[in-house]
Amino acid sequence: MRAIVSKGILACVVAALSLPGWSEPGLDVAVLAEAPAAPPPSAAAKHEVVSVRMPGAAFAAMQTINPEHIRWHVRYLSHDLLEGRGTGQRGGDIAAEYIATQFAEYGLKPVGDNGSYLQRVPLVGITTLPETKISLVPKQGEAMVLKPLDEYVAYDRTQQEHTELDADIIYVGYGIEAPEYNWDDYKGVDVRGKVLLMLVNEPPSDDPKFFKGKALTYYGRWTYKFEEATRKGASEVILIHREDMASYPWQVVRNSFSGEQSSLKLEGPALQVASWVQLDVAKKLATTAGMDLEKMMADARTREFHPVNLGVKLEAHMVSKVRNFESNNVLAMLPGSDRKLKDEAVIYTAHYDHFGIRPDMPAGNNIFHGAADNATGCGILLELARAFSVAKERPARSMIFAAVTAEEQGLLGSEYLGKHPPVPASKIALDLNYDDVKPLGSPEEVEVTGAERTTFYPWVQATAKEFRLAIRPDARPEAGHFYRSDHFSLARVGIPSFSINEGMKFKGHDEAWGIAQDQEFVEKHYHQPSDEYHPEMDFVGDAAMARFGFALGWEAASLTRLIGWQKGDEFEAARVKSQ
C-alpha cells in the first residue's frame, strides 16, 4: 500500500505556507510542507491505493496546533493543587471541570448527561476483609484452609458485603471458547454454580493463525476468562498463577489484588468469587484430587481437552467492604457537516485521572502528578478539540472529544463510555486514543499498534508517510499492550480503535537514546510522584502526534464507508453484533 499525494493536499501545503505561525522553529509542519510526492505504485502493488485528502480549511486548522498550548494544559493539570487527579477525589473533579470549561470556550456541544459536558460514572470499591475464609474440601480427609495473600487473593464481584459459596471444582484448562480458532475448553459442560479452576494465558503457539502465534490475544487475558465464566453462569473462577505463563511474579498479583478493587457499578450478573492461587496450592489441590498438575496442564494444550470434575469442593465465606463512589467522563461534540453522515462520529479519547494523593506516604512527596501519564494526552485532546473548533469547514461526520476517568483503576471510565456512548457504537467510525505521550522532542516514528487490524490501515500508512513518520511495530506483542489502554474499551464494543504515540527515534538522537529515555521513565517515574512537569520539557512531539491524529480523524470522518475490523479479527464479531 502506498500514499499518493493528491493535488488537493499539495494545494493545501501551498496555502499553508502563507499562514502565520506555521514556521515556528522546530515544528514538524515544515516537514509536512516539504513532503514530496510519493513514487508511483509499482506494478506489483495489489493493495488498495489510497490518497490523503484534506481540504485547505482543515489543513489550516491543523497548522494552528501549538506545542505551547499543550504545555499549558500539562502544566496546570499536573500541578500540586490538582492533587494527582484521583478518581472520585477533589483534584480529579477539578481536572474534569477544567476540561469541560475548555470545551465550552471552544464552543463545542455538550454530550454528557442532561445537556452537560459531564457523564456520571458510578463506581464501586471492594476490599476483601480478613474475616474472609476459603477452604478446599476433599470427599475424604481434612479440609485445607488457604492462607490469604501468601496462597491466594480473592474478591467478590457481586459487590455484596457477604457471600457464601459451597460448590464443586471443575478444571476447565484455559477456560477459552474461541470458535475462530476451533477451540472450546468447555465442550458444552454445564458449569452453572460451579467453581472453575483454570490456567492463565492461552495455548502456546508459533503459528500466527492460531491465537496469533506469540502475540497475546484477548482470550489470554484474565478479564476475558472472568467474563466467559460469568456468561456460562459459573460462581467462581480460580486462576492458577504460574510465573512464566503469567509473565509476572506472584508479588504483582498479590499487590494488585490485595487492596481496594474498583469496578463499574454492576449492570448484570457477576462472579461471586474471582481468585488467583499460587502454583503450589494448585499442585496440592491436584494431588488431593488424585491427579497430576503437570499432566493436567499438558492435557489443556490440546483441542481434545474436556473439563474434569476434581471431586473436591470449595467453601468460601467472603466478607467485603463495599464503597460506592462516582466520577465523570467529560464529553463534547463538534457536529458534522453532512446531513446524513453527521449521525456518525469519530471519537478522540484520553484519560485525565491519575492516582491522587497517597495518605500512607510522607506528606510533601505523596502527590501523583501524572504529567506524562496522562496530562499529556489531555493536552493533546484539548488542542485537537480547539483546532477542530476553529476550522472554517467541518468534517462530514461528527467529532467527539472524550476525557475519560478511572483508567488507572482498570479502564473503567472508557468501559462506561463504551457501554453508554453519546452516539451508538455501531455508528462510531474510529477511536483515536492518547496515553502518556512523553515531551521528548521531535519524533521520527509513530506507534499505532492495532491500526493494522482495521480497514483504515492504508490511510494510516499513507498519512504517516506524509508526516515522514516511520510506523514502529510493537516490540513485545506477547505483553498484550493493546488490552491495557482506553482504546481497548471501545474495541470491545466493536469500534475500530487504537492509540497514537511516539516511537523511540527522535530528531537529533539515535534510537538507543529514545529507548534509554523510556527505560529511565519506567524505572524512576512511571506511576510515581516524580512524574511531574518541568519547564524544560519539549512539547513539539506532542504537537506532532496531535497533528497526525488530526489528519487521521479528518480522513476517518470523511470516508464514504464506515471503518471496520479486518476479516477474522477478534473484535469483528462485536462490530457486526453492534450493527
Query: Segment contacting Zn ion (CB under 5 A): 10-18, 296-304, 315-323, 370-378?
Result: 370-378
Does position 373 interact with Zn ion (CB under 5 A)? The reply is yes
Whole-angstrom distance, CA of residue 571 vs CA of residue 451: 13
Determine which helix (DSSP H) or strand (DSSP E) holds 135, and give its type and residue range.
strand 133-138
User: Based on CB atoms, which residue is closest to Zn ion, 416 or 550?
Assistant: 416
Query: Segment contacting Zn ion (CB under 5 A): 170-178, 195-203, 371-379, 391-399?
Result: 371-379
User: Based on CB atoms, which residue is closest to Zn ion, 373 or 486?
Assistant: 373
Residue 527 Cβ vs Zn ion, minimum distance, rounded to whole Å = 6
User: Based on CB atoms, which residue is closest to Zn ion, 373 or 431?
Assistant: 373
Helix, strand, coil shares of the chain, percent, nearest 5, are 35, 25, 40
User: Based on CB atoms, which residue is closest to Zn ion, 373 or 570?
Assistant: 373
Residue 224 Cβ vs Zn ion, minimum distance, rounded to whole Å = 21
Query: Segment contacting Zn ion (CB under 5 A): 140-148, 174-182, 206-214, 367-375?
Result: 367-375
Site for Zn ion in 46-75 (CB under 5 A): none
Q: Cβ(262)–Cβ(123) under 8 Å? A: yes
Query: Segment contacting Zn ion (CB under 5 A): 155-163, 372-380, 416-424, 439-447?
Result: 372-380
Whole-angstrom distance, CA of residue 551 vs CA of residue 543: 12
Whole-angstrom distance, CA of residue 212 vs CA of residue 223: 18
Residue 364 Cβ vs Zn ion, minimum distance, rounded to whole Å = 22
Residue 407 Cβ vs Zn ion, minimum distance, rounded to whole Å = 7
Whole-angstrom distance, CA of residue 477 vs CA of residue 475: 6
Query: Segment contacting Zn ion (CB under 5 A): 44-52, 288-296, 369-377, 538-546?
Result: 369-377
User: Based on CB atoms, which residue is closest to Zn ion, 373 or 466?
Assistant: 373
Nearest to 367 by CA among 359, 376, 375: 359
User: Based on CB atoms, which residue is closest to Zn ion, 373 or 502?
Assistant: 373
Whole-angstrom distance, CA of residue 271 vs CA of residue 227: 9
Q: Cβ(50)–Cβ(42) under 8 Å? A: no
User: Based on CB atoms, which residue is closest to Zn ion, 91 or 395?
Assistant: 91
Which residue's CB atom is positioned nearest to Zn ion? Answer: 373
Position 81: which residue type? L
Residue 372 Cβ vs Zn ion, minimum distance, rounded to whole Å = 9
Residue 370 Cβ vs Zn ion, minimum distance, rounded to whole Å = 7
Size of the chain, expressed as the number of residues it contains: 579
Q: Cβ(331)–Cβ(421) under 8 Å? A: no
Residue 435 Cβ vs Zn ion, minimum distance, rounded to whole Å = 7
Residue 522 Cβ vs Zn ion, minimum distance, rounded to whole Å = 11
Whole-angstrom distance, CA of residue 374 vs CA of residue 386: 18
- DSSP structural state of residue 49: P
- Torsion, CA 285, CA 286, CA 287, CA 290, rounded to 10: 120
Query: Segment contacting Zn ion (CB under 5 A): 128-136, 139-147, 365-373, 481-489?
Result: 365-373
Q: Computed over its alpha carbons, how large is the radius of gyration of the chain?
A: 25
Q: Report how far apart, in Å, the C-alpha atoms of 531 and of each of 79, 88, 383, 506 are.
A: 11, 21, 21, 21
Does position 177 interact with Zn ion (CB under 5 A)? The reply is no
**What value, to the nearest 5°, has the Cα angle with vertex 98 and ends 94 and 102?**
170
Query: Segment contacting Zn ion (CB under 5 A): 27-35, 63-71, 268-276, 366-374?
Result: 366-374
User: Based on CB atoms, which residue is closest to Zn ion, 313 or 525?
Assistant: 525
Residue 408 Cβ vs Zn ion, minimum distance, rounded to whole Å = 5
Whole-angstrom distance, CA of residue 565 vs CA of residue 490: 13
314-353 mask for Zn ion (x: CB under 5 A)?
----------------------------------------
Place of cell 484520553: 350
Residue 76 Cβ vs Zn ion, minimum distance, rounded to whole Å = 19
Q: Cβ(8)–Cβ(467) under 8 Å? A: no
- DSSP structural state of residue 1: -
User: Based on CB atoms, which residue is closest to Zn ion, 85 or 394?
Assistant: 85
Residue 485 Cβ vs Zn ion, minimum distance, rounded to whole Å = 9
Nine cell digits for residue 466: 506524509
Place of cell 499529556: 376
User: Based on CB atoms, which residue is closest to Zn ion, 28 or 373?
Assistant: 373
Whole-angstrom distance, CA of residue 436 vs CA of residue 519: 14
Q: Cβ(129)–Cβ(438) under 8 Å? A: no
Q: Cβ(517)–Cβ(463) under 8 Å? A: no
User: Based on CB atoms, which residue is closest to Zn ion, 83 or 373?
Assistant: 373
Size of the site for Zn ion (CB under 5 A): 1
Q: What are the phi and psi torsion angles at 221 (to 5°)?
A: -85, 145
User: Based on CB atoms, which residue is closest to Zn ion, 79 or 420?
Assistant: 79
Query: Segment contacting Zn ion (CB under 5 A): 113-121, 176-184, 199-207, 373-381?
Result: 373-381
Residue 373 Cβ vs Zn ion, minimum distance, rounded to whole Å = 4
3-class DSSP state for residue 171? strand
Does position 185 interact with Zn ion (CB under 5 A)? The reply is no
**What does the longest C-alpha to C-alpha distance in the chain come to?**
86
User: Based on CB atoms, which residue is closest to Zn ion, 27 or 77?
Assistant: 77
Nine cell digits for residue 258: 490485595
Residue 376 Cβ vs Zn ion, minimum distance, rounded to whole Å = 11
113-142 mask for Zn ion (x: CB under 5 A)?
------------------------------
User: Based on CB atoms, which residue is closest to Zn ion, 221 or 351?
Assistant: 351
Whole-angstrom distance, CA of residue 444 vs CA of residue 502: 8
Residue 413 Cβ vs Zn ion, minimum distance, rounded to whole Å = 13
Could you list the residues that contact Zn ion (CB under 5 A)? Answer: 373
